[in-house]
Structure 1
Amino acid sequence: MKSHASGHGSGTGGSAVRRFLSLALLPLPLLALAAVTLPAAFSGGGNRRWFGGRGEGQRAEAQAAKDAAAAAFYELDSAQRDLRISIETITAVDDSPPARGAVSGFTDLSARIDEVSHQYIAAVDAHDLDRDDLEASTASRARAELTQARDALNKVKDDLDRFTQGLGPLLDKAETQLARLAPAVERARQSLLAASNALDATRAAGLRADDLAARLAALAPELTRLNQGAGRHGVPETLQRAEHVARDAEAVRAEAERLPERAAETDRRLVSLRTRAQALTTRAEQVEPILSELRRRFTIACWQDLQQVPEQAAATVRQAEAKLAEAQAARDAQRWPDATSLLSTVRALLNSTDEAVSAAGNRLQRLNAVAKDPQDEIDRTRFAIRDAQRLAMADRHTPDPRHARPLDESVRRLELAIATLEGRHPDYWHFLSELEAVRQAVATVVSRIREERGTTA
């Protein structure tokens, strides 16, 4: 037992000496590390702890790589969220091929983001950098994997930034439309309200405005669709619908506000046209005495085309009066478009009658003047011809045949017309008509010359 005990004691002492000598021979850093780990060794073994020196540097580098990868991950995640919002903005208003291409590109990018994100998460989960027993080699491997994950995250982030920049035109267009959406819908609602208020005021004035009420009621389904929102019907369609509703409601409002004045104007026109029809009836009755004088004093060619004026005037006035009665009925029924159309017809009928009745009186007046002294008409025509001839010769030694021929023909026609006055019963109306035609022909030549010379002088 003793020798066993001695042997045991000497063996123990030898081990202690070897351990002391080995410690004495260690390099200083490792000596310090050993000094730290000795208590654990003497306490009976167990998990080995290490701190300080190169191992602590590896842990710090791994932790720095982890922090950098985390920053890259969160930066990429934030950029992806922003990009998703941009894509949703674009798709809300645009279904064009470029917009569909943007959605496809975002889908591909999202798949790559998921891939590098899983790589990063796997690297983080694989290494607990806070463990007391973390090996230097494990820390070095963690740093490498986390650095690789960070680089992958940054590369995808760069690609995402370039993709986002390329969406600029699409996004600007989409944001512009979205910015227009809320104001457009609000304008439509306000226009409908204004139209409804104007319609109420019109009815309060005793005007039914049934057609306007029907047009306003037809916009009710459109308002319902507007209230359902762009999420259901799409931004472009909602914008178009809002503009349509605002435009139609504004038209109803404007017409409703004008309706009292329209009614008053219709009443004024009815009175005015009725008075005019009565006056034309009186004037038409005076055509027959004028025709009698024309028949008595002038040849048949001077008045034959006026023979039917009294009868036609009376018939046209009767037709106008019938239309006036229809217009009055339409006004009483508040059928404003019908009343307006009928009044326009009445005015056209009375205008034509007025011209026919006036033609008889004007004919007699002109024939009396030319029969008394035709020289005024002759002088007017000769002056027109001479003025055109001077223009044709301006800055020229000889006139252009294209201008000279019609002017010479005008002189010939004038002389022939003057010759017709030498008979016993001259056709003064032919004379007047011929001289008017000559002056018109001369005016045509003058216009052509000025056009060719580029001047209106």
Structure 2
Amino acid sequence: MSAADAVGAVHAVQAVQAVDAVASRRDAVARGGPRRRRGGLRRAGQPLRDALALVLLPLPVLPLLAAALPASFAGGGTRRWFGGRGESVRAEAQAAKDAAAAAFYELDSAQRDLRISIETIAAVDSSPAAQKAASDFEAFGRRIDEVSHQYITAVDAHDLDRDDLETSAAARARAELTQAKDALGTAKQDLDRFSQGLTPLLDKAETQLARLAPAVERARQTLLAASNALDAVRAAGLKADDLAGRLAALAPELTKLNQGAGRHGVADTLQRADRVVRDAEAVRAEADRLPERAREIDRRLVSLRTRAQALTTRSGQVQPILSELRRRFTAACWQDLQQVPQQAEENVRQAETKLKEAQRAREDQRWPDATALLSTVRALLNSTDEAVSAAGDRLRRLNAVAKDPQAEIERTRFALRDAQRLAMSGRQKPEPQHARPLDDSVARLDRAVAALEGRHPDYWHFLTETEGVRTTVARVVARIREERGQGA
């Protein structure tokens, strides 16, 4: 086939495409609404397509086209050409018709391509922006139907192949077809601008679609890993019934993943895959930790049992401590400790009962129950330990202050003087908000010291007062440093 033949074949292809598009659009306009087709244009102009097949054979192109085309275009027959002004106008009208056909085909192709983009966005994105894009596209469809109807009407209204076509009719055809071409071109430009504005939504949708297959595969692999970890735990003699139940609950989710995004939607499928990965990974991680968890529970059982026994011995020493406190100090120094022996005994008894329950839970491999019971035992023993220690600490502190109260007084006065120096640093007088609590603390300390002069001084009250003074002084010092740090 020569170069000229090839060019002729290309022109024939364009003619076929234009005929197809016109036929499809004419059907759509006749139905009174935008087309609802999938997979491209409806096929029309089959005789012309048969002629095109012949063109592509190694035969002379023009004679074959001349034989095939008359059956496909309106007004068939052999055209007789006349020179002069009339023929020039006819040629211009034909050129306008060809330009309008090209514009029509470009608009139709752009709309078809954009429909694919809109459907991609709609499959992934249900946001207001995506819904507006779909609505705007439908509005464009109605506008395109209008300009297409204008074009088709202009084509149908004028038979440029008529032998008796008048110059005035050719001129009208040229004007109407040019107007139709301009309307089609304007619609195409607006559609292109609209398409460019969809880029962010389309990029987001394509990104999600690209994530879909890897996300589903990752969910399947995570479920498999969780199942293998559970099998390994059971092989080690651990039941892990709760983990097995959680893994079984993911089976319906896997079924939906296997059914695909076409049934459940891209966004829901991605969310489901992420959820399956998260839950299955949690099961796998807990299964991997389960042997160590069992060993840890065994260690805690032994440790807490030993600690309960030690506290039983230590709580027996509280009564002698209380006896000495009663004998040497006023009631205010020990009255709040009266219930320590009974409370310690009760706490240890409860702890031992909970330890037995925890042991049974461990044997039944009820791991959450065993962990919760051991936490309760630990809290009971901590409370007992603090109460028993408080009795011994009280006696120690009271003995120290009764022997030398001056040490406690000097310790408190030193804290006060240090705070007063800080408050006066860099100024002639301290800030009122700093001076007032410090002055009150001085007076409070003086009252506590004066209370020691009685026959039976309340040393515990004295200790709580001096401790209260030091706490107040520490707050003032912290406030001064914070304020000066902010002003630096």
> For residues 364 and 48 of structure 1, what CA distance do their matches in structure 2 show?
128
Q: Is residue 280 of structure 1 aligned with residue 311 of structure 2?
A: yes
- Which consecutive unaligned segments of at least 5 residues does structure 2 have? 1-77
Are 1:406 and 1:445, in contact at CA under 8 Å, matched by a contact in 2?
Answer: yes
Q: Is residue 262 of structure 1 aligned with residue 311 of structure 2?
A: no
Equivalent position of 1:180 in the other structure = 211
* Root mean square deviation, CA, Å: 3.3
Q: Is residue 203 of structure 1 aligned with residue 241 of structure 2?
A: no
Q: Is residue 154 of structure 1 aligned with residue 189 of structure 2?
A: no
> For residues 64 and 256 of structure 1, what CA distance do their matches in structure 2 show?
77
Question: Residues 143-194 of structure 1, C-alpha deviation per residue, up to 9 Å, x if partnerless?
Answer: 6665455434323322322332333343344334333333333332232222
Equivalent position of 1:239 in the other structure = 270
Equivalent position of 2:359 in the other structure = 328
SS at match of 1:351: helix
Are 1:58 and 1:136, in contact at CA under 8 Å, matched by a contact in 2?
Answer: no
SS at match of 2:281: helix
Question: Residues 267-307 of structure 1, C-alpha deviation per residue, up to 9 Å, x if partnerless?
Answer: 11111111111111111122223233333443443333323
Equivalent position of 2:16 in the other structure = none
Q: 2:442 aligns with which of 399, 411, 427?
A: 411
Q: Which amino acid aligns with 1:282?
A: T
Q: 1:72 aligns with which of 96, 99, 103?
A: 103
Moved more, 176-185 or 188-197: 176-185
Distance 1:61 1:381, change over 3 A: same
> For residues 399 and 105 of structure 1, what CA distance do their matches in structure 2 show?
72
What is the 5 A alignment of 1:86-97?
Answer: 86-97=117-128
Question: Residues 109-159 of structure 1, C-alpha deviation per residue, up to 9 Å, x if partnerless?
Answer: 334444554665676676475x9x687858777766654554343233223
SS at match of 1:206: coil
SS at match of 2:428: coil
Question: Residues 207-259 of structure 1, C-alpha deviation per residue, up to 9 Å, x if partnerless?
Answer: 22111211222222222222222222223322322222222222222222222
Q: Is residue 396 of structure 1 aligned with residue 427 of structure 2?
A: yes
SS at match of 1:395: coil
Q: Is residue 367 of structure 1 aligned with residue 392 of structure 2?
A: no
Q: Which amino acid aligns with 1:236?
A: A
Q: Which amino acid aligns with 1:353?
A: T
Q: Which amino acid aligns with 2:325?
A: L
Q: Is residue 81 of structure 1 aligned with residue 112 of structure 2?
A: yes
Equivalent position of 1:339 in the other structure = 370
Are 1:420 and 1:427, in contact at CA under 8 Å, matched by a contact in 2?
Answer: yes
Distance 1:391 1:116, change over 3 A: closer
Q: Is residue 387 of structure 1 aligned with residue 418 of structure 2?
A: yes
> For residues 260 and 291 of structure 2, what CA distance do their matches in structure 1 show?
37
Q: 2:334 aligns with which of 286, 303, 307?
A: 303
SS at match of 1:317: helix
Q: Is residue 436 of structure 1 aligned with residue 467 of structure 2?
A: yes
> For residues 304 and 256 of structure 2, what CA distance do their matches in structure 1 show?
48
> For residues 330 and 456 of structure 1, what CA distance do their matches in structure 2 show?
60
- Which consecutive unaligned segments of at least 5 residues does structure 1 have? 1-46
> For residues 247 and 431 of structure 2, what CA distance do their matches in structure 1 show?
68
Question: Residues 17-67 of structure 1, C-alpha deviation per residue, up to 9 Å, x if partnerless?
Answer: xxxxxxxxxxxxxxxxxxxxxxxxxxxxxx995588878767765664454
> For residues 113 and 210 of structure 1, what CA distance do their matches in structure 2 show?
63
TM-score after normalising by structure 2: 0.73
Equivalent position of 1:36 in the other structure = none
Q: Is residue 189 of structure 1 aligned with residue 220 of structure 2?
A: yes
Q: Is residue 348 of structure 1 aligned with residue 379 of structure 2?
A: yes
* Displacement of 1:355: 0.8
> For residues 192 and 454 of structure 1, what CA distance do their matches in structure 2 show?
55
> For residues 143 and 226 of structure 2, what CA distance do their matches in structure 1 show?
55
Equivalent position of 2:71 in the other structure = none
Identity of aligned residues (%): 79
Q: Which amino acid aligns with 1:77?
A: D
Are 2:90 and 2:160, in contact at CA under 8 Å, matched by a contact in 1?
Answer: no
> For residues 222 and 387 of structure 1, what CA distance do their matches in structure 2 show?
68
Moved more, 319-328 or 155-164: 155-164
* Displacement of 1:349: 0.7
Distance 1:430 1:139, change over 3 A: closer
* Displacement of 1:453: 4.0
* Displacement of 1:400: 4.3
* Displacement of 1:201: 2.0
Q: Is residue 222 of structure 1 aligned with residue 253 of structure 2?
A: yes
Equivalent position of 2:27 in the other structure = none
Equivalent position of 2:302 in the other structure = 271
Equivalent position of 1:446 in the other structure = 477
> For residues 319 and 48 of structure 1, what CA distance do their matches in structure 2 show?
113
Q: Is residue 110 of structure 1 aligned with residue 141 of structure 2?
A: yes
> For residues 299 and 105 of structure 1, what CA distance do their matches in structure 2 show?
89
Are 2:96 and 2:178, in contact at CA under 8 Å, matched by a contact in 1?
Answer: yes
Distance 1:332 1:53, change over 3 A: same
Are 2:218 and 2:277, in contact at CA under 8 Å, matched by a contact in 1?
Answer: yes
Equivalent position of 1:16 in the other structure = none
Question: Residues 350-380 of structure 1, C-alpha deviation per residue, up to 9 Å, x if partnerless?
Answer: 1111111111221222222223322221210
> For residues 277 and 110 of structure 2, what CA distance do their matches in structure 1 show?
39
Moved more, 245-254 or 171-180: 171-180
Q: Is residue 376 of structure 1 aligned with residue 410 of structure 2?
A: no
Moved more, 312-321 or 446-455: 446-455
Q: Which amino acid aligns with 2:302?
A: V
SS at match of 2:358: helix
Q: Which amino acid aligns with 2:231?
A: D
Q: Is residue 358 of structure 1 aligned with residue 359 of structure 2?
A: no
Q: Which amino acid aligns with 1:362?
A: D
Q: Is residue 314 of structure 1 aligned with residue 345 of structure 2?
A: yes
> For residues 456 and 140 of structure 1, what CA distance do their matches in structure 2 show?
88
